[in-house]
A and B are shown apart, each in its own frame.
Chain A
Amino acid sequence: MLNKIYDWVDERLDITPLWRDIADHEVPEHVNPAHHFSAFVYCFGGLTFFVTVIQILSGMFLTMYYVPDIKNAWESVYYLQNEVAFGVIVRGMHHWGASLVIVMMFLHTLRVFFQGAYKKPRELNWVVGVLIFFVMLGLGFTGYLLPWDMKALFATKVGIEIAASTPLIGHELKVLLAGHPDIVGAQTLTRFFAIHVFFLPAALLGLMGAHFLMIRKQGISGPL
C-alpha cells in the first residue's frame, strides 16, 4: 500500500533522487560504533540534533497552554504541569532537554576540537557551529525567564546586568533586552517569549541547515 502511494507520487514528481541525494550514502567505517566502539564519540552531534528535535516538539506543545503575560505566566505553567495529563512529562522533557542539549553540544565540540576536525577545509563549519552554540545559549537564557517565578526573575535581572556591562552599548543592549530602562516586567516577558519561540529557533534552523549541508558536502573528517 505504502509502496503504491510512493510509486504513484514518484512517477509524477521523481522524488527518488531528492532523498537519495540526502540520505543514500554509507557511514564510513571509522565513525561507525558497530565497527569500533570508540567511534561513539561521533554520535554527539547527532544526539544534539535529536535532543533539539525533542526541544522543538515539546516547546510547540507547551505553547498550547503557556501565556507570556506577567499575571498568568506562572499560573499557566502551574496548570499545565499539575492539571494537564502528562504535563509533568512534557514540561520535564523541555526542562531537562534544555540542559542535555548544552551537554551534548559541549561533548560534540570537544570531539571536533581534540580530533582537529575543524581544520581546513572545515573552518566554516566550525564557525557556524560556534554560532549555533551562541544561539543555544540564547535559547537557554530566554527560556529560563518564561516560568516567571522568583528564580527566573532574579536570574534574568543578573543576566541583563551582565549585558548592561558591555562597553559603549551596554545600556542600549539592556533596554533592548528588557524592553524598559528600569523594570524587568511585562515587556521583558513578551520580548523573551518572542525571542525564545520565533527569532532564535528561526536562526537555529538556518544555521543547522548550513551545518548539515557542509558536513554532507565535505564528509566527516578522516580516521585519525
Chain B
Amino acid sequence: MSKQPVSRRQFLNYTLTGVGGFMAAGMLMPMVRFAVDPVLKGEAAGDYHPTQQKVSELTETPVRVDFSYEQKDAWYTSEVTSTAWVYKNNKGEIVALSPVCKHLGCTVSWEGNDHKNQFFCPCHNGLYEKSGKNVPGTPPLKPLDVYPTAEKDGLLQLGKPQANNV
C-alpha cells in the first residue's frame, strides 16, 4: 500500500468528485450566468433626446424643460417624460439639472416654497444652490445630477444625467 501514493478507493473518490463537480457546474453555470446578465450587460450609452426648448431663449433664470422619449425596458417599450431645469451660467454655458432629489428621489423645483435663488424639495425641505450644489444642513448629501447638453437646429438636446462635480 505504501508503494501506491493513491489508493484505488482514493482514485475513485477523486474521479467521481471531479466528474460530479463538472456535471454540477455544467448545470449551474448557465443558470447563474442567466441570472446575473443585467449586471454584466453594462449601461447603455446615453443617447441625446431632443427637447422643444430653443437654446437662444435660455436666460440666467432656470426654466423647466419637459421632454419625452422612447424608453426600452427589456421587452417593454414605452414613452416616458423627463424633466430638466435649464439655464445659462455666468460664463454663458448651458446647465441642465436633473430634478431628482439626491436625498430620497422626490422632485425639486426652482424657488419652490419661496426659497429665493434655490432649488427646493418639498419632501424633507432639501435645498440646492442654483449650481445644483446641495445646501449643507439640509437632507441631500450630493449635488443634483447634471444632464450633458447638445444643440441641434437651435433646439436643446439632453443626454443621460451624470454625477455633478460642483
Contacts and interface: CB of A to CB of B under 8 A. Distances in A.
B74 interface: yes
B74 A180 contact: yes
Interface in A99-123: none
A183 B71 contact: yes
A186 B76 contact: yes
B39 A183 contact: no
Interface string A71-112: 100000000000000000000000000000000000000000
Given A175-B39, A176-B38, A179-B38, A158 B105 contact: yes
A182 B71 CA distance: 11
Interface string B41-65: 0011000000000000000000000
B39 A176 contact: yes
* B38, B43, B74: most-surrounded residue (chain A CB, <10 A): B38
B76 A185 contact: yes
A156 to B, nearest CB: 12
Interface residues of B, number: 13
Contacts of B44: 181
A161 B35 CA distance: 20
A221 interface: no
B104 to A, nearest CB: 6
Interface in B59-81: 71, 73-76
Interface size class on chain A is 10 to 19
Interface string A157-173: 11001000000000010
Nearest to A173: B39
A183 B73 contact: yes
B162 to A, nearest CB: 12
A150 to B, nearest CB: 13
Contact of B74 (A71, A175, A186): A186
Interface string B95-107: 0000000001100
B38 A157 contact: no
Interface of B: 35-36, 38-39, 43-44, 71, 73-76, 104-105
